[in-house]
A and B are shown apart, each in its own frame.
Chain A
């Protein structure tokens, strides 16, 4: 075990998989010589060679389309999109091609592409360095969608995603790269070395997709979150004294519905928290499924604490970003107090 932040855990996962599988190659803007704008691929080109870890033209559609072609020809590409806000030029290649290739060819062709992309807000990123576009991809059959919340899970989930023969969109909450963040932007920044999940095995290990983690056990209300919001929800429970069960979904597709329904049947109440805008966000899907599965156990309407239905703002970031206060208020509301 050693102490790692998420950047180091991503780097460690990539290092291990490059060593293990000669068909893995890594590419994207600035990922090669420079080692990535977030340092996630630092040192990998030097260690494995230019043909295995390389820089690309500034072209998201080009990155994804060539990744698909490489996947078709037997490689296992790990493509990086520098910010998830810039994944949209590649949207056609991801949703119409990558996601549908296996299905449309009757299983003859597929491309085991992993797309790594930093997501989420809380970093003064404004419109185009803060988005959480996961719902566009959870809505597309054929894709798997993963969002870790800590260094330990990041490494295990990333290794699993790369080894998976299905395409995976792997969102990395950039607000968490260097340390956990509970939504209190006035507090001094924390580092992962004070957090138990900052302890990461140096060797190969994997965490299955489709398995949620109970971040904080509780009995009064179930709080569903992923990415940065796991830490906001956890701290909201701690500081309010509400006995909330906080679940870190970890993968949205496939979804661990058993863990979710098990918890909601126990607590009878549910609050869903995500950074992305509310309308047609992933919270709507969670809410619908819980209503279908747990109707007779629900003591209150399911609540959603989300980003507003606006573009992500710059100066009013902390009015947009779902705060501990909003989570607490929502938990109190579903508890009827």
Chain B
């Protein structure tokens, strides 16, 4: 008798209590992926959507054609930003646990994404991040006191306490206001890039969504419009394997996320998301292509979400504890550090000195931020600002409600 048909529902590879084993994960060797000319026809590089661009090998040496050959000073800057992000995240999580922030989201394991990609861009390139690329702000030199003021929603929060923590906006840094609805920023980045082309400017736009969000309609709008109008845009799916509790096997039945780009005739590249050099290199390639009029690039950043989804999530309920430690692509910070040490440009001693320095900086900045108010005690944005910025000028009905409220 033949087996009765039933609904197929994919599962995560490992659940709590099981021992994660990624030995079956197909990981092409570092240096193996070809590096095409930037103006290549998308149809000629379809293999890159199924491969994995990796530069750092198992010995932490840079190999292959994608090696961006960066100066050690640039690598050290990247390492510093990544370490700062991790230390910042740890401090903010502690503060959240103490009730000093209402909410927080860490980037553990994904630090290289925002930092390396951000560093490969120009300051006038426009960023449409999701909530897990706060590191872009470090790259562009944002005052971390201002970032903390936003997270603790005090009077110095530039978004006036209106959004949840981590929903940064920073006009000066071309970092477009983050919103909670996932994926909405993806096609907006395409429109922004279309405007750059319209005006004849050669900056590019770049956006990030997660593997889970790649199931939203906005994902399709973005790729299709980017392809149709050859928009100078970089579209990234950060595949960190998890959308809260949902494994990427549920988000996509496909081979790779990058493979989806092929159908839109958009050059699509899959990259090791824990490899600073590979990320930097692929992003530079895509940005150069966009600036030359080659249109969009779609990038799948292959990584692993090291921490809980947010401070409201407990991942031990759906995946093995410390699954991240078994992740074969390792830790982006450790890998870049080991590379720099191998170059003779860095040492464990300098590393611990840096970490101490950054920890002091974050603590000092936190204290400085609290001088402008705390979550529980304020001062917060003045009450009448509740009615501002809904429109450019409050129309009559809002002015009336403001009066009714006592202002």
Contacts and interface: CB of A to CB of B under 8 A. Distances in A.
B194 interface: yes
A69 B189 contact: yes
Contacts of B158: 106, 108
Interface in A202-242: 210
Contact of A73 (B160, B181, B196, B392): B196
Interface string A93-129: 1001100111111111110000000000000000000
Contacts of B222: 62, 65
A70 B191 contact: yes
Contacts of B189: 69
B4 interface: no
Interface string B289-313: 0000000000000000000000000
A77 B221 CA distance: 18
Interface stretch (A1-9, A173-181, A185-193, A250-258): A250-258
Interface string A278-289: 000000000000
A62 B169 contact: no
A161 to B, nearest CB: 13
B162 A59 contact: no
B39 interface: no
B341 interface: no
Interface in A250-296: 253-255, 257
B171 A97 contact: no
B148 to A, nearest CB: 16
A172 B335 CA distance: 59
B169 A109 contact: yes
Interface in B216-234: 217-218, 221-222, 224-225, 228
The residue in A89, A105, A210 that gathers the most chain B C-beta atoms within 10 A of its C-beta is A105
B177 A105 contact: yes
Contact of A69 (B170, B192, B391, B397): B192
A194 interface: no
Contacts of B196: 73
A47 B228 CA distance: 23
B243 interface: no
B167 interface: yes
B26 interface: no
Contacts of A210: 395-396
Contacts of B25: none
B218 A104 contact: no
Nearest to A109: B177
B195 A97 contact: no
A104 B169 contact: yes
The bracket for how many chain A residues form the interface is 35 or more
Interface string B159-183: 1101100010111000011010100
A305 interface: no
The residue in A65, A104, A166, A254 that gathers the most chain B C-beta atoms within 10 A of its C-beta is A65
B249 interface: no
B392 A110 contact: yes
B395 A73 contact: no
Given A57-B224, A254-B397, A107 B188 contact: no
A51 B391 CA distance: 29
A110 B396 CA distance: 20
A286 B196 CA distance: 43
A102 B190 contact: no
Given A104-B167, A108-B177, A67 B184 contact: no
Contacts of A25: 198
B390 interface: yes
A71 B176 CA distance: 12
A92 B181 contact: yes
Contacts of B389: 102-103, 106-107
Contacts of A68: 188, 191
Contacts of A56: 225, 228
A167 B273 CA distance: 38
Given A104-B177, A165-B392, A65 B188 contact: yes
Interface in A37-93: 51, 56-57, 59, 61-62, 65-75, 77, 89, 92-93
B205 interface: yes
Contacts of B388: 107
B282 interface: no
A105 B189 CA distance: 16
B169 A108 contact: yes
Given A65-B187, A73-B192, A104-B162, A166 B392 contact: yes
The residue in B190, B191, B389 that gathers the most chain A C-beta atoms within 10 A of its C-beta is B191
Given A70-B198, A104-B159, A93 B396 contact: no
Contacts of B221: 59, 61-62, 65-66
A61 B187 contact: yes
A196 interface: no
A100 B225 CA distance: 23
B199 interface: yes
A57 B392 contact: no
A59 B218 contact: no
Contacts of B179: 96-97, 100, 104
B225 A66 contact: yes
B187 A62 contact: yes
A146 to B, nearest CB: 13
A59 B225 contact: yes
A59 B224 contact: yes
Contact of A102 (B163, B176, B391): B391
A301 interface: no
B264 to A, nearest CB: 11
The 5 closest A-B pairs by CB, nearest first: A69-B191, A66-B191, A65-B187, A62-B221, A105-B177
19 contacts: A57-B224, A59-B224, A59-B225, A65-B188, A65-B218, A66-B188, A70-B195, A71-B191, A72-B188, A73-B195, A89-B217, A96-B181, A102-B391, A104-B159, A106-B160, A106-B162, A107-B389, A166-B391, A166-B392
Interface of A: 25, 51, 56-57, 59, 61-62, 65-75, 77, 89, 92-93, 96-97, 100-110, 141-142, 144, 165-166, 210, 253-255, 257
Given A75-B195, A97-B179, A103-B390, 7 more contacts: A56-B225, A66-B187, A74-B199, A93-B184, A103-B389, A104-B167, A106-B169
